[in-house]
Structure 1
């Protein structure tokens, strides 16, 4: 419930403090007195998009503060928690508009964004008028309103989830089909390349190994000649024969040397052993340098094949093995494409079936809700002197989407036998007011904690019809807070709390004031509304008669 609205330096309002009450609150006043400024100010503090030039002339900034009472289970509590604010039983919104156009907002004395204000406003206030801005006249919003009336959140969430699943499955099938079509266009290339790579069977690091072998074999002749000379020098025709001769000579002379030849002989024995090891190593080198006929040519052919294939595929020779795996995988995917497409098609069909079921469930709920809404509207239109009018919620099948396949529109027929048509085109101004009021009552039934504002909803009606509108507003306010801006004396007389909006000239400046009215003041105000500028005794008597059976609460 809206508890208070404080406005400072907004347009022609210098300072204004309003304290609202439960029930039916009415605001009256002459045209141009500033009633619309009150709604603009409330919309500003709630983050609604509106006029930008709100700051009063001569002021540095305009400021609006609105205070709301919240129950523990009010929908605004979840929005506060999600935005990082504490839950509270009193919500204080403050917003400032500086002269340069900058806007700053606070929620319970903490800075807040316009998005947070707008999210809160959806749970706090509903503004309604003949030019309804909540979608009652917009056929594109009728489905949303019907879903809210039907409380179809669960079915709607299921349908949206099924739609996401269908979109995902359809996308996967389309993407895979496109990929396979692209691969099919290069099938010949893939098969030739895979066969060529499989035949060569390249291995990482092989190019460097082959290059080393090739260089060694190219140098083998020169190396083998040098090693052969070394082998000859170490053989029994070279160093070995000389060492053996030296040992034989020393052994022959050892008897006359009294043991002095023992050490040289032992050294020579060790030298012969080392020489033998050297001979074995040299022989191994000779064996390693043995090249079989055609081996160098084979190494060169493979090396050149690796390098040629790498150039062909614009990669390094060491990357050929990875490329072979990648191309083989693509070819396997192409070969298995039909099976993969079939699996994706089955998944898409399953997703389509799930979506169809969810959409049909949602349609059934909407049809049932439409029947209830039409019956509820018939009950609401009778007290509004429109018992012969017919309201119908039309549902036809449209394109599939996340919210189902249904297209919903509110249609009316104002006279028996007359064709029905869109609400905004068939109903006249006065009829439209009553249709919208009845529709608002039906759609908000069961809604708690929301302040409903009706901006001249009674425009275009008078007499008994205006009285019927006022009575319906009064009944609607019995369990809620309703604010009505009205020019109708019949509606004003039914208010439980009454304010008059008026303009005054103070120090050559036009300012707007909102004055709470006493019982006597209400007689004068309603008499003015009945007679105009000149209030007659007859008008006062009529005002007293309007108020007589309706004591102010």
Structure 2
């Protein structure tokens, strides 16, 4: 809901701060007082064209700030996706600045935003219905959703069936494309699969072969050295044999002198360490076995793996997966039309399910259309549109336009005169008729929600008396569910307002200004009397204003 509007230096408005409440707010004033300026300012805040002509003469810039209730979770999420942070429970502030030299800036909660974003969020905040409006209810793209809401036509089953059908069709298309591609490459595929299967590469095999090759290459280099070391240590003339001989001799004489005993201990330790060294050498020789034939075989296998990997532009470890993938492709190709036939059956089944769900949705929409037509028809006669006819067209959409929302094209059409053909609202309705048709639709669709604030600009143009009273009554009924702001010349409509704002122009001899103020009960009576009688307010006009302002206990229900 719009809670406040602040305007600075817009055309004839120098400074204006307005507060708005729930229910029906009416704005009146003499012709030329500047009512359109107020709506232009609100439109600017909601992303309208930033024309420098809106800047008051002599001012540097024009600034409009609109304050709204805290945004809904859906709107908050939309703002967050666009980089605008919104604190939970905080009001939404939309500000637009237009400079006299042409540039403009936009802000949401004091954070820079684009005018495009303002235009995207505007329909969630305010609906502005004027005589030349081509959005909202007049945009056929939204008619299907409005009808679904009115008739509670839930498209969930159709949406699920559509998703299943699209998945099945995508699988069939992919299978056909794969078979077509594979058929072109069949000879290559058969040769490659045979080649890979013969190679029988295994994951990790390349690394294992490389490690084994490195070990054997090292063994080749150290074999001679290991043999020489063994000769030095082992054998009858080896170092260990001579150390053991020395130890036996020292054992016989060790008691003759302490130094000999120490020497014996040292030789014993040397024998022990030498034995350890001898054992470790044997282990090394066992580990570093050099077999020229085995080395040659391993190198051949390693080079074969790497060559095959380069050929197919994969890593050696991926050759096994490549073999499995190409084998599967060859099997699918060999399965041929059998697999495609299965997928075709799946598509046919999914299409039948979609057709069934979409046809059921169409039936519900046709029933809802009749109900909506009756509801709108009941509103036309009181609005001086008794000769007009309204219909909701539910027609088959082109197959290319089928979707999860069904197969239907929905559009609201009218015929303004008996025998005249039906056509979209905007093509045949005059300005006043258009506004009243919009009101009839809004009343019929009252339970379906929409923007929290609706603005009607001169919806009562060209009508009076009973028609104006009917318009006022319907506006008051709508205002019980949503905030309405109405620019009006009709006293019957003005009298229905919960709040009454007067727009007036003043001139101090130099500068002309437009101002707005909320009227007291007494002032409101005088303004309605002026609207009834003109420049000279008569007692009779005041009495008639009092009758219009009397509480109306008659509350007709909104159409169901």
TM-score normalized by the length of structure 1: 0.70
1:325 and 2:311 matched = no
For residue 372 of structure 1, report the CA deviation from its aligned partner.
Answer: 0.7
| 1:144 alignment partner in structure 2 | 145
| 2:133 alignment partner in structure 1 | 132
Q: Cα deviation per residue 1:55-93 (whole Å; 9 max; x = unaligned)?
A: 43344554445566x7xxxx95546876754448xx574
Aligned residues: 511
**Aligned residue among 485, 508, 522 for 2:528:** 522
Alignment check: 8 A CA contact 2:5 2:18 kept: yes
| 2:557 alignment partner in structure 1 | none
For residue 373 of structure 1, report the CA deviation from its aligned partner.
Answer: 0.5
Q: Cα deviation per residue 1:130-169 (whole Å; 9 max; x = unaligned)?
A: 22343332222221322232344xx245544554454455
SS of the equivalent of 1:524 reads helix
Alignment check: 8 A CA contact 1:227 1:282 kept: no
Moved more, 491-500 or 281-290: 281-290
Alignment check: 8 A CA contact 1:376 1:442 kept: yes
Cα gap change, 1:305/1:523 in structure 2, threshold over 3 Å: closer, same or farther? same
**Aligned residue among 288, 295, 300 for 1:304:** 300
Listed as ranges, the matches of 1:352-501 within 5 Å are 352=351, 355-398=354-397, 399-445=401-447, 447=449, 450-459=452-461, 461-462=462-463, 466-479=464-477, 480=479, 481-487=483-489, 499-501=501-503
Alignment check: 8 A CA contact 1:97 1:103 kept: yes
| 1:191 alignment partner in structure 2 | 193
* CA distance in structure 2 between the partners assigned to 1:124 and 1:318 by the alignment: 57
Q: Cα deviation per residue 1:314-341 (whole Å; 9 max; x = unaligned)?
A: 2899953x23312222134325535887
| 1:57 alignment partner in structure 2 | 57
Cα gap change, 1:175/1:546 in structure 2, threshold over 3 Å: closer, same or farther? farther
SS of the equivalent of 1:376 reads helix
Cα gap change, 1:411/1:433 in structure 2, threshold over 3 Å: closer, same or farther? same
Alignment check: 8 A CA contact 2:27 2:503 kept: no
For residue 383 of structure 1, report the CA deviation from its aligned partner.
Answer: 1.4
For residue 470 of structure 1, report the CA deviation from its aligned partner.
Answer: 1.7
Alignment check: 8 A CA contact 2:491 2:528 kept: no
* CA distance in structure 1 between the partners assigned to 2:120 and 2:286 by the alignment: 89
* CA distance in structure 1 between the partners assigned to 2:189 and 2:410 by the alignment: 51
For residue 298 of structure 1, report the CA deviation from its aligned partner.
Answer: 6.3
* CA distance in structure 2 between the partners assigned to 1:289 and 1:522 by the alignment: 112
Q: Cα deviation per residue 1:351-372 (whole Å; 9 max; x = unaligned)?
A: 5555445434432332222111
Alignment check: 8 A CA contact 2:24 2:486 kept: no
Moved more, 349-358 or 499-508: 349-358
**Aligned residue among 209, 214, 234 for 2:212:** 209
Moved more, 114-123 or 354-363: 114-123
Alignment check: 8 A CA contact 1:127 1:455 kept: yes
**Aligned residue among 299, 310, 322 for 1:314:** 310
* CA distance in structure 2 between the partners assigned to 1:105 and 1:340 by the alignment: 56
For residue 439 of structure 1, report the CA deviation from its aligned partner.
Answer: 1.8
Gaps of 5+ in 1: 529-534
* CA distance in structure 2 between the partners assigned to 1:232 and 1:550 by the alignment: 129
| 1:11 alignment partner in structure 2 | 11
* CA distance in structure 1 between the partners assigned to 2:141 and 2:95 by the alignment: 32
Q: Cα deviation per residue 1:400-434 (whole Å; 9 max; x = unaligned)?
A: 12322211011222333433232322434444343
| 1:35 alignment partner in structure 2 | 35
SS of the equivalent of 1:102 reads strand
* CA distance in structure 2 between the partners assigned to 1:518 and 1:283 by the alignment: 116
* CA distance in structure 2 between the partners assigned to 1:203 and 1:232 by the alignment: 39
* CA distance in structure 1 between the partners assigned to 2:2 and 2:268 by the alignment: 118
Cα gap change, 1:197/1:286 in structure 2, threshold over 3 Å: closer, same or farther? closer
* CA distance in structure 2 between the partners assigned to 1:289 and 1:548 by the alignment: 116
* CA distance in structure 2 between the partners assigned to 1:142 and 1:303 by the alignment: 74
* CA distance in structure 2 between the partners assigned to 1:199 and 1:193 by the alignment: 11
SS of the equivalent of 2:104 reads coil
Cα gap change, 1:443/1:298 in structure 2, threshold over 3 Å: closer, same or farther? same
SS of the equivalent of 2:200 reads helix
Pair member with larger Rg: 1
Cα gap change, 1:310/1:183 in structure 2, threshold over 3 Å: closer, same or farther? farther
SS of the equivalent of 1:205 reads helix
Cα gap change, 1:384/1:419 in structure 2, threshold over 3 Å: closer, same or farther? same
Cα gap change, 1:519/1:118 in structure 2, threshold over 3 Å: closer, same or farther? same
* CA distance in structure 2 between the partners assigned to 1:489 and 1:233 by the alignment: 125
Cα gap change, 1:546/1:416 in structure 2, threshold over 3 Å: closer, same or farther? farther
Listed as ranges, the matches of 1:339-354 within 5 Å are 352=351
Listed as ranges, the matches of 1:241-252 within 5 Å are none
SS of the equivalent of 1:457 reads coil
Cα gap change, 1:276/1:478 in structure 2, threshold over 3 Å: closer, same or farther? closer
| 2:107 alignment partner in structure 1 | 104
Alignment check: 8 A CA contact 1:9 1:56 kept: yes
* CA distance in structure 2 between the partners assigned to 1:42 and 1:181 by the alignment: 60
* CA distance in structure 2 between the partners assigned to 1:277 and 1:319 by the alignment: 44
* CA distance in structure 2 between the partners assigned to 1:375 and 1:318 by the alignment: 69
Q: Cα deviation per residue 1:423-482 (whole Å; 9 max; x = unaligned)?
A: 3224344443432332222122575994432112344x34xxx43442232112333154
SS of the equivalent of 2:438 reads helix
| 1:531 alignment partner in structure 2 | none
Cα gap change, 1:103/1:331 in structure 2, threshold over 3 Å: closer, same or farther? closer
* CA distance in structure 1 between the partners assigned to 2:310 and 2:152 by the alignment: 63
